């Protein structure tokens, strides 16, 4: 299961609302090859859910993930930070053996 912190959930809800996205819009989370550590995280919005997708709902926010990415992301917690060091989503991935300094890529 992929988890969202309260701050991440609020930010996702804010973006969906501000961009007037359809109510069935979900946060699509995934991984792709690349980045300085081997895999990079991907985030986007999607209103189409495939029958093989893993779906989690956290207080009204749906999170979807394709089965291949889910192998690497199961148990991951997504947080949102807004501070002097930067603004953005942060991944706490228990499957990552190492992460790069920017936190946007990892290896297993």
Q: Spell out the residues 6+ positions from residue 92 whose beta carbon is closer than 8 angstroms to its own.
A: 76, 77, 78, 79
Say whether 51 sits in a helix, a strand or coil.
Answer: coil
Residue 106 lies in a domain: no
Radius of gyration of the chain (CA): 14
Residue 52 lies in a domain: yes
- Rounded to 5°, the CA angle 8-45-21 comes to 95
- 47-88 pLDDT per residue, tens: 999 999 999 998 899 999 999 999 999 999 999 998 887 889
Q: What is the pTM of this model?
A: 0.84
Residue 101 lies in a domain: no
Distance CA 83, CA 98 (A): 24
**How many distinct structural domains can be found in the chain?**
1
The CATH number of the domain holding residue 40 is 2.60.300.12
Residue 47 lies in a domain: yes
| Of 77 and 33, the one with more pLDDT | 77
Residue 67 lies in a domain: yes
Q: How confident is the model at residue 99 (pLDDT cuts 50, 70, 90)?
A: low
- For residues 46 and 26, the answer to whether their CB atoms sit within 8 Å is yes
Boundaries of domain holding 30: 3-96
Residue 57 lies in a domain: yes
């Amino acid at each position: 299961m992929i988890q969202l912190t309260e701050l991440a959930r609020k930010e996702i809800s804010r973006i969906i609302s501000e961009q007037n996205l359809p109510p069935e819009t979900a946060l699509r989370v995934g991984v792709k090859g690349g980045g300085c550590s081997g895999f990079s995280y991907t985030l986007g919005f999607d209103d189409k859910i495939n029958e093989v997708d893993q779906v989690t709902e956290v207080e009204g926010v749906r999170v979807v993930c394709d089965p291949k990415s889910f192998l690497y992301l199961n148990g991951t917690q997504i947080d949102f930070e807004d501070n002097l060091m930067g603004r953005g989503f942060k991944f706490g991935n228990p499957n990552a053996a190492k992460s790069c300094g920017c936190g946007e890529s990892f290896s297993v």
